[in-house]
Structures are given as C-alpha cells and as structure tokens.
Structure 1
Amino acid sequence: MSRDAGPSLTTLPSVTSVTPVTSIRTVLGDISPVDLGICDAHDHLFLRSPQLPGQELDDTEAAAAELDAFRAAGGAAVIQWTPYGMGRRAVELPRLARESGVRIVAATGLHQAAHYAAEVLARVRADLAGLFVAELTEGIGGTGPRAGMIKVAGGFHGLDRHARHTMTAAAEAHHVTGAAIGIHLELGTGAMDVLDLLCDELAVPPDRVVLGHLNRSPDPTVHRLAAEAGAYLAFDGPSRAHHATDWRLPDALTALTEAGHGDRILLGGDTTTADARSVNGGPGMPYLLRRHRPRLELALGEDLVTRILTANPARAFAATWGAAAWGGAGDGTPGG
C-alpha cells in the first residue's frame, strides 16, 4: 500500500509568517531533540474518565512522587498522552517538571466519545482543529503550557464517525503545526485503518504518526506492515498480565529489529489508574526502566534498547513547528 501520494493540501489551513525550528515542545518550552534523554514515550500523570470511576489520577503530590521515582530509576522525560477534557491539570505540569527535573510533553487531542459528556463533545466538535492548533501554539486553556503532540483514538478493529472526525481534525492541526499524532488503538487493533485514513487520505507523513498499544495485539504481520509504512510503533503498558505485554514483547521487538525496523519502536508505561502508580504499590513509571529495560536488553542488547528509549522518541516527537497564525478559533474554554 502506497503512502507516497495524498490529497491536495489546498483545502487545508494556511500558515503565515513561519520560522521553522526542529524541536520538542515541552511544558517548559522547546528543547533540542538531543536533550530529551531517557523517555517514557506514553504515560499519564493526570487522567480522569467516567470509564474509570474511582481510579482518577488527580493527586498532584502523587504525580510528583511518581516523577521522582521515575527520575531515580534513570528517567529524564515523559510524554503525557492525556488529551482535552480528561483532567490534564496542565497548570500543574510546569512546576512538576521544574521540581522533578523530568521533561514533560503535554498533549492536545480528543479521546473516544465514551470518555466525555455529550455537552462537551457538542461544544468542541465545530472547530476541533482550531482547538488543537491553539493548544499547540498558544497554550492549553489559553494560558497554560503549550501541548507538544496530538492524541486521538480509534475503535475496536475500525474507525467510527467520531474517530474519523477527530483524526481529520488532528491531520489539519498537524499540517499547520507539524505536531506528531499519537493514536490510541483499542486493544491494539485497527492500525492499518488509521494509516489508510491519516496517511493515504489526509496526507499526514507516516513518520508523524505514533501507533499506541500495539503490544495488546501481538500480530507480527501488522507490526511489520505499520513499520514498513514508516509509522512509529508504541509498545506501552508493561506488566499488564491481561494483555500480551511483558512475556510476548521481546519476541515482537526482536522480529521488528531483525526486519530492519528497530528505529520505529517506542516504549511507554501508560499508567491509567491510581492503583497502578508505583507510589501506591503498582508498577508505575519506574517499572519501564527497573524491570522492563533489563528484560529487553537480554533480547535486543543494551545499545539498541538505549536508542529505543532516547533517539527514537527524540525523532518521533520532534517537529518543525509552524503556525504563527491559524484561521480557525478554539472554543476558548479551559482544556484541563
């Protein structure tokens, strides 16, 4: 399947007065990709959803302790994939980054419809791309730190109307800003449907797409096809025994590496509940480095695992940032 051609960009938003700089956009400002360091490429410091009642990540002190534990394990950066309207606590992120010494990248975007009240979706859908661009270029909620990536979601083995709408908005925002688009794949499924839409129909370069949760569907053929297309493959959520995670991951990553795609692999923790935090007795963010990294080094070697944790996310989340101006307008409401 070809990813070389796409639709004309004449219908996409225009950019004016752009001075492009390749950098990673953290909550404390843009940094050179070489300064990112050991990175958890998909995790959550804060998260709230009606789908996870009673398990909200909303404790600022617990988030600070988790970052400290991650730093003590050797971590230097976290990409927080929490999107619009799911309790990002964006105003807290700069302080947490300063005090912990961990670089934090925040997300804009929108999750599956089930995570939102109907009135929230009604309010943002009319100009979703404008909202994304505003959060990437002006700040979350208009005054908070700028987001550094876009997170949207597919469905189980397919893309419903909501997914297609949010991914279309994400593509528009990408074309204006250059931001990477991270995809929640429901139970790891639908990767090629996502690439068909984003890359073939909407002209997003494949190397601007990060496919999340591929460990949950350990299909080596899909993994290889997605890597050959040029997308990044995020294997996140280690230690979850009800998914094919730890025990299948070395084989999956070995197969990708032997096929020449070691530079497409990303690793993350994807902490989504309070009980999963290390400070509450769960694996949390440190598990990726304390337990998972040594396991993978036995299969892949120390040098490759280090590159997967450093060079790969540095490329995946760096952007040649544009969008000094945007023709749309966000809804102007707080986006925490």
Structure 2
Amino acid sequence: MVTAPPVVRTVLGDVPADRLGVVDAHDHLFIRSPLLPGQELDDTEEAAARLRAFHGLGGGTVVQWTPYGMGRRADRLAALSEESGVQVVAATGLHQAVHYPPDLLDSVRDSLAELFVREITEGIEGGGGVRAGLIKVAGGFHGLDAHARLTMRAAAEAHRRTGAVIAVHLELGTGALDVLDLLCGELGVAPDRVILGHLNRSPDAAVHRQAAAAGAYLGFDGPSRANHATDWRMPEALKALADAGFADRLLLGGDTVTPDTPGMPYLLRRVRPGLELALGEELVERILVSNPRGAFALRR
C-alpha cells in the first residue's frame, strides 16, 4: 500500500510538508485580548509588511497561533499569504479564560470539540473558506485549572478526528509536564502530536529534557518580555537538548503579540545568525526547516 505524503493545512489549502521552507513555528499576524488594551495587532498593512520582511529574509511559512475569539482575522489571511508569498497556517482552539468575555465562553463551552473540528475540516466562520491547521490551547502558571482541562479534552477529541497537532501555550514556560500528563497520559494523544510553547521563558533544563524524552516538540518562541530576560540562555538550552539527542524535537518562533514586539523578521534577522554562531548552521537549519515538517503535518 502506498502511503500519501504528509501535508500541512495552510490558509490556501493543503501543501506537502516538505514545501514549508523556513518556518516561524509560533507567531501572530492578528491578536487582541482584554489583557492588552490598546495593544491589539489588527492592522492589515502592518501584518503585510511583517510578512514581506520575513519573506525577504528567506522565510517560507508562518504559523499563527491566534485561536478562536481573539481577533485572528481569518478573512484576511488568504490574501496576505498570496500577496507575500509566505504560507500561513491558522489556528482553532481556545486560550486561557481571562482572554475572553464570560458570555463568549458560555456560548461555546458545551461544543468546543465540534467547534474545533468544524474549523479544521469545513472552515473558520467568516473566513472565506480558510481552514485551521492546528489546535491552540493553554495551561496555567505551574498547573492546569478547570478551563485548561476542559479545552484540552476538547482539543484531544478534535485531534483524534482531524489529525491536527495540539499547540500549547505554557504560562511563562511552566507546567509542561502537567500538560503532557493530561494530554498524553490521561487522554491518549501521542506525544509527538503536542507542541509545548514558550519553554525559553522557563529555562529549566530538567523539565526540557523530560518533555523531549516523552516525545513532544519543544517551542522556543519569542524574545523575552521586560524583567524576564532569558534570551541569553536559549542557545545553551537548545545545545543541551541537541547534545542529549533531541535535536529533532526543537522549534523556533517569533511570537509577535503587541505592535512593539520585534516579531517574525527579528527571528531571521537576529535570532537565526546568533544561533548559527552558537550551534552551527546545520542544527539551526534542522530546527527551522526539517522539524516543522513533522510537527505541523496532519497525522492521526
């Protein structure tokens, strides 16, 4: 029996996973939250400029982790992808409860899995046929609350029905092992169908190694926020994981969340050359090009 080659679901349709090029594995073209009043990313021209700059630096694909109800502007993603030449992967899913009005959560709480499946298989409402290619959920600070458990259960069900990967926001990089205990232990999701985001924000080498050994993908994404300076430790963390045999588990992203975030061009203009000096070009190429092919492919 001939097995079909793996594909990634972009906003312009499914593409072979080996055609992603250089991948920003975690970013946002559009996002809004009541926690960031006045700092919304909602300007189409600015999004287009970031994509053009990313493309000009050799970028091929951007994975937007903005989930349901947070201003992801699905209606603009296809045109932006076409105009820039950058492939875009959109997200379904749900963030932490604090990012939503209570009435919105009440309206979807009992049908989350159906919502996620519909957005992956049929399309995002108002998105002109754009379908999501991953499921974004979120943990809490060093633990999982009832909302996180609810959304992760729905994500696991949607994953089983669609093959889409589950991408997890870790609050300040914490709670990775609790997430894996729930998703992979209790709910039966294969560890290599889980991406753990923001691990650079909690440079705990033991946790990193345990998560990688379990088989999950590890996302090192976004420059440090003020008073949380961990950027200088990221090369050391990546090298330790690669030396331990986990080079194939690593991903990099820019995580643009406010207009003043350096963003996706910064990933290739500054982060990539610095990592190449510290880690070597071959390893950085693997992290940016080879690893995302497996991470984002639709696979049950």
Q: Shared fold (TM-score greater than 0.5)?
A: yes
Shift of 1:265: 0.4
Residue 115 of structure 2 corresponds to 131
Q: Please tell me whether the aligned partners of residues 215 and 243 of structure 1 are also in contact (alpha carbons under 8 angstroms).
A: no
**Relative CO higher for 1 or 2, CA cutoff 8 Å, sep ≥ 6?**
1
Among 106, 110, 134, the alignment partner of 2:90 is 106
Shift of 1:21: 6.2
Among 121, 130, 133, the alignment partner of 1:148 is 133
Shift of 1:242: 3.1
Mapped partners of 2:74, 2:229: distance in 1: 32
Shift of 1:196: 0.2
- Cα 1:87–1:249 shift into 2, 3 Å: same
SS in 2 for 1:200: helix
Residue 66 of structure 2 corresponds to 82
Among 304, 312, 336, the alignment partner of 2:283 is 304
SS in 2 for 1:31: strand
Q: Counterpart amino acid of 2:122? A: E
Mapped partners of 1:70, 1:21: distance in 2: 27
Mapped partners of 2:289, 2:250: distance in 1: 11
Q: Please tell me whether the aligned partners of residues 135 and 155 of structure 2 are also in contact (alpha carbons under 8 angstroms).
A: yes
Residue 317 of structure 1 corresponds to 296
Is 1:243 aligned to 2:222, yes or no?
A: no
Sequence identity (%): 70
Of residues 40-49 and 241-250 in structure 1, the stretch that sits farther from structure 2 once superposed is 241-250
- What aligned pairs does 1:1-336 form with structure 2 within 5 A after superposition? 22-141=6-125, 143-238=128-223, 240=225, 242-276=227-261, 283-320=262-299
Shift of 1:299: 1.7
Q: Please tell me whether the aligned partners of residues 201 and 224 of structure 2 are also in contact (alpha carbons under 8 angstroms).
A: no
Shift of 1:218: 0.2
Mapped partners of 1:189, 1:89: distance in 2: 29
SS in 1 for 2:212: helix
SS in 1 for 2:14: strand
Q: Give deviations 1:25-57, integer Å, cap 9, x for gaps.
A: 000000001100000000000001000000000
SS in 2 for 1:211: strand
The normalised TM-score by structure 1 is 0.86
Q: Counterpart amino acid of 2:230? A: T
Mapped partners of 1:261, 1:20: distance in 2: 27
Q: Give deviations 1:131-187, integer Å, cap 9, x for gaps.
A: 000000000016430000000000000000000000000000000011000000000
Task: Name stretches of at least 5 consecutive residues in structure 1 with no aligned partner.
Answer: 1-18, 277-282, 322-336
Residue 3 of structure 1 corresponds to none
Shift of 1:245: 3.4
Shift of 1:219: 0.2
Shift of 1:319: 1.2
SS in 2 for 1:51: coil
SS in 2 for 1:140: coil
Task: Name stretches of at least 5 consecutive residues in structure 2 with no aligned partner.
Answer: none
Shift of 1:20: 7.2
Mapped partners of 1:265, 1:275: distance in 2: 26
Mapped partners of 2:278, 2:294: distance in 1: 23
SS in 1 for 2:241: helix
Of residues 141-150 and 114-123 in structure 1, the stretch that sits farther from structure 2 once superposed is 141-150
Shift of 1:85: 0.2
Mapped partners of 1:221, 1:239: distance in 2: 21
Q: Please tell me whether the aligned partners of residues 269 and 288 of structure 1 are also in contact (alpha carbons under 8 angstroms).
A: yes
- What is the count of residue pairs matched by the alignment? 297
SS in 1 for 2:231: coil
Q: Please tell me whether the aligned partners of residues 217 and 244 of structure 1 are also in contact (alpha carbons under 8 angstroms).
A: no
The normalised TM-score by structure 2 is 0.96
